[in-house]
Amino acid sequence: MAKPYYKRVLLKLSGEALAGDQGYGIDPLIITTIANEVKEVVACGVELALVIGGGNIFRGLAASSKGMDRASADYMGMLATMINSLAMQDALEKIGVDTRVQSAIAMQEVAEPYIRRRAIRHLEKGRVVIFGAGTGNPYFTTDTAASLRAMEIGAEVILKGTKVDGVYSADPKKDATAVKYSTLTYLEVLKKGLQVMDATATSLCMDNSLPIIVFDITTDGNVTKVVCGEDIGTIVKGA
């Protein structure tokens, strides 16, 4: 493996990425593939934290649009992220990667509480830290949680793993004329309403000059390539 370009990164995965083609739940093959990539990255000395969405199990926003109380729906979504976090922990530990799950909602039987200094200490010791339960507050997405945690632990970049190979002007599956962007500024993302991260998360990254790289997580070796500074996907940064 080439020399890593980044020392400390936060990898944000959508829940849908774990579902694979089945569209719901956790695909064991996908989660094992991602775990192997994480192992490779950690082996070369990169400190890696993870935030995983819960959309493959429960989506709070969708439930609230059908009449459920938004706060209750969001708390259910946070619990869904914990299911994904524990599944990822299991996949990583099976292949010998030291892992800690930290939850923003107290559940001491299954995870540590989120404590910033402890998280940083785990990273320094070479452990992968998985941040579960979002920010612990309703009305905030896991994108916002990823931006917040990345800032708190001093990550140099957010790597957003999706099912597409970057950010496009439109959905490439529906629109053949969709153009892929190689670089974007935070303001362009906000003005064009591009689905990189939600507006709160993007604004948070903009205020703190934290770059976001959107790339295809489903292609083998891509996590390693991004961490080594290869030009894949779309990078969102300041002007």
Q: What is the model's pLDDT at position 61?
A: 83
**For residue 60, pLDDT beyond 90:** no
CA–CA distances in Å: residue 3 to residues 45, 124, 225: 9, 18, 10
Binding annotation: 12-15, 54-55, 59, 74, 135-142, 162, 168, 171
Average pLDDT for 137-147: 96
Mean pLDDT (the chain) is 94
Residue 239, pLDDT > 90, answer no
* Residue numbering of the annotated binding site for ATP: 12-15, 55, 59, 162, 168, 171
Query: Tens digits of per-residue pLDDT, 153-207?
Result: 999 999 999 888 899 988 888 888 889 999 999 999 999 988 889 999 999 999 9
Q: Quote the pLDDT of residue 171.
A: 84
Tokens 């629109």 appear where?
Answer: 175
Q: Residues within the annotated binding site for UMP?
A: 54, 74, 135-142
Q: Nearest Cα to 179, choosing from 171, 189, 188, 169?
A: 169
Residue with tokens 């709070």: 60
- pLDDT at position 190: 94
- pLDDT over 70 at 1, yes or no: no
pTM as predicted: 0.94
Quote the CA–CA distance of 73 and 57 in Å, as a whole number.
Answer: 12
Q: Which phi-psi region, left, alpha or beta, contains residue 134 (left: φ > 0; alpha: ψ -120 to 50)?
A: left
Q: What percent of the chain has pLDDT over 90?
A: 82
Interval 122-127 mean pLDDT: 98
Domains of the chain: 8-237 (3.40.1160.10)
Spatial distance between the Cα atoms of 165 and 96, rounded to a whole number of angstroms: 29
Name the residue among 26, 10, 18, 7 with its Cα closest to residue 153.
10
Instruction: Give me the residues paired with residue 52 across strands.
Output: 13
Average pLDDT over residues 217-238: 92
